[in-house]
Amino acid sequence: MSDMTDKPIRSFGRTGGRPLSPRQRKLVDELLPQLRVPPDTAVLAAPLDLFEDLDLFEDKVSELWLEIGFGGGEHVSAQAKANPQAGIFASEVFIEGLAKCLSDIDDMGLSNVRLWDEDARELVDLLPGHCLDRVFILFPDPWPKKRHHKRRIIQPPFLDALARVMKPGAQLRFATDVRSYADEALVTFLAHGAFDWQARRADDWRTPPADHVRTRYETKNLGDIAPVFFNFVRKT
């Protein structure tokens, strides 16, 4: 039996929400199993090669992206539609968010999205080294109380894991609207050493990137600052 103390501290809150509609329940029951990333290192050993063989993506893909904590899925679906060359692993544990994303995938006929409904850190640990071209961590749970800051996903061990699976030159975008998380995350990234911050002036982190997709969450203005966007490149 494994020791529960070996598991990382949970970095996300509740996973349930409002009852699903009949259509959403059907998609969760029938479509999610088809799109779920298999938790198998053998299957994931050579992601792009095996995706084609296993029909994980119908179209030819040349890049592998990861989005961690996609919320309602608006960003994932928009990026997938705009970037058919990218196979996107999208991670979310919140069942209502999964159902919304499945609805978008179904409505838009997307074939280049696969879903992971467990802790994203487990997926990262399963991936082979230097396989990711791009990573999005947009508005993760801020755990605002100081005693809960240890639950924030941006921690040195997780950056170690991301650095292992990102290709040299791969891009990572982190966004938050919580000042304490912005400060803490930036310090953590810069201290890590594997990530080169791309900002050269204030507007580089204050202005949403050209390809950013604004989500319903952002329109609620729940944070204590305007959103900031930190773009990093994995050092060679």
Catalytic positions are 141
Find the helix or strand (DSSP H, E) in which 222 lies.
none
Contact 76, 101 (CB under 8 A): yes
Cα separation, 133 vs 110, whole angstroms: 20
Contact 58, 80 (CB under 8 A): no
Edge-to-edge strand ranges of the sheet holding 228-234: 113-116, 86-91, 63-68, 132-138, 166-176, 228-234, 195-197
Helix, strand, or coil (residue 228): strand
Alpha carbons 227 and 84: distance in angstroms, whole number: 27
Give the whole-angstrom CA distance, residue 89 versus residue 48. Answer: 12
